[in-house]
Amino acid sequence: MYTGLQHLHSGVAYLALFALAGVFLYTLFGALSGKEFTEKDRKIALIAFVLTHIQLLVGLILYFVSPLGFSMLTAEGTMKDASARLVALEHPIMNILAIVIISVGYIRAKKITVSKARFRTIYMAYGIGLVLILWRIPWTAWLG
């Protein structure tokens, strides 16, 4: 089960990152072109929103069943070891923060009536979320 969760977390991560980058570019160009925000645009943003939340759910489950997650916080020396601290503390906290920002941006954009402001709200929130996620990915574990 643990290995399956790891693979699911890595696989959904690729989809979520690709979707966030795509929606960021799509909404940036939508704002710059002066295009009208439509239901199709909202649904495109919803795809990345849903994928990031699935990633969060899988990540939280993995965090509590993994020997590298929550149990490491009580281990001696975790905070002194940069890679252990990244996996046990920084990665989960920063990604939760990123998904909160993405969620606030998506929800706020639904309430705005001006198209350019809706596009801008989504590309700013998704862009900040994407940067935070990319910043705290444990690259050595993910690519190695």
- Tell me, what's the pLDDT at 45? 98
Mean pLDDT for 107-129 is 97
Residue whose token pair is 């929550």: 70
- Tell me, what's the pLDDT at 143? 64
pLDDT-derived band of residue 112, with 50, 70 and 90 as boundaries? very high
pLDDT-derived band of residue 142, with 50, 70 and 90 as boundaries? low
To the nearest 10°, report the CA torsion of 24, 25, 31, 32.
150
- Tell me, what's the pLDDT at 87? 84
- The pLDDT tens digits for 87-110 are 888 999 999 999 999 999 999 999
Q: 106-142 burial string, b = 16+ CB within 10 Å, else e?
A: beebeeeeebbebbbbbbbbbbbbbebbeebbeeeee
DSSP collapsed to 3 states, the chain: CHHHHHHHHHHHHHHHHHHHHHHHHHHHHHHHHCCCCCHHHHHHHHHHHHHHHHHHHHHHHHHHHCCCCHHHHHCCCCCCCHHHHHHHHHHHHHHHHHHHHHHHHHHHHHHCCCHHHHHHHHHHHHHHHHHHHHHCCCHHHHHC
C-alpha 55/C-alpha 43 separation (Å) is 18
